[in-house]
Amino acid sequence: MAVIKANSEDVKLLARLLRAEAEGDGEQGMLLVGNVGVNRVLVDCLDFRDIRDINRMVFQNPGGFESTQKGYFYQRARQSEIRLARRVINGERIWPASNALWFFRPVGECPDTWYNQQNTGRFKAHCFFSPTGEDCPEVY
């Protein structure tokens, strides 16, 4: 059962985002990016107030995703990434992104905090960061 509303075009858009942001980190890395995206739609806190759908989440500006500015993002969604997008839309959550609202790819080690949010862990190239339950209870 879906945890956020999504039609077939939304699923394809999220699939394109997963690939463009984390293809190099494999399926699990793409699922983690999907967790962050779904979390941003679910919450109404911090930088993600009034982000109620996948399209607004993907193209949020400022604060959106770097990949939307590159041509690779605009390629057609593949079935493999569409399946991954459906999994996170249906509520699959994976640590360290299960409650994360941010991720980035540092040059070196993950910092302890990013935008005042705690580092929850790293998967391959990306570090993930979650707000406190006090700052954003909807993500927990």
Q: How far is CA 6 from CA 9, 48, 74, in A?
A: 8, 18, 19
d(CA 127, CA 77): 25
Q: What is the pLDDT of residues 1-50, one digit of tens each?
A: 899 999 999 999 999 999 999 999 999 999 999 999 999 999 999 999 99
- For position 64, what pLDDT does the model report? 84
Confidence of residue 57 (pLDDT cuts 50, 70, 90): very high
- For position 62, what pLDDT does the model report? 84
Statement: residue 110 has pLDDT above 90: yes
Given strand 117-123, what is the order of strands in its sheet? 102-104, 126-130, 117-123, 113-114
DSSP track, 65-106: -GGGGSGGGGSPPPHHHHHHHHHHHTT---TTSTT-SEEE--
Q: What is the pLDDT of residues 83-103, one digit of tens each?
A: 999 999 999 999 999 999 999
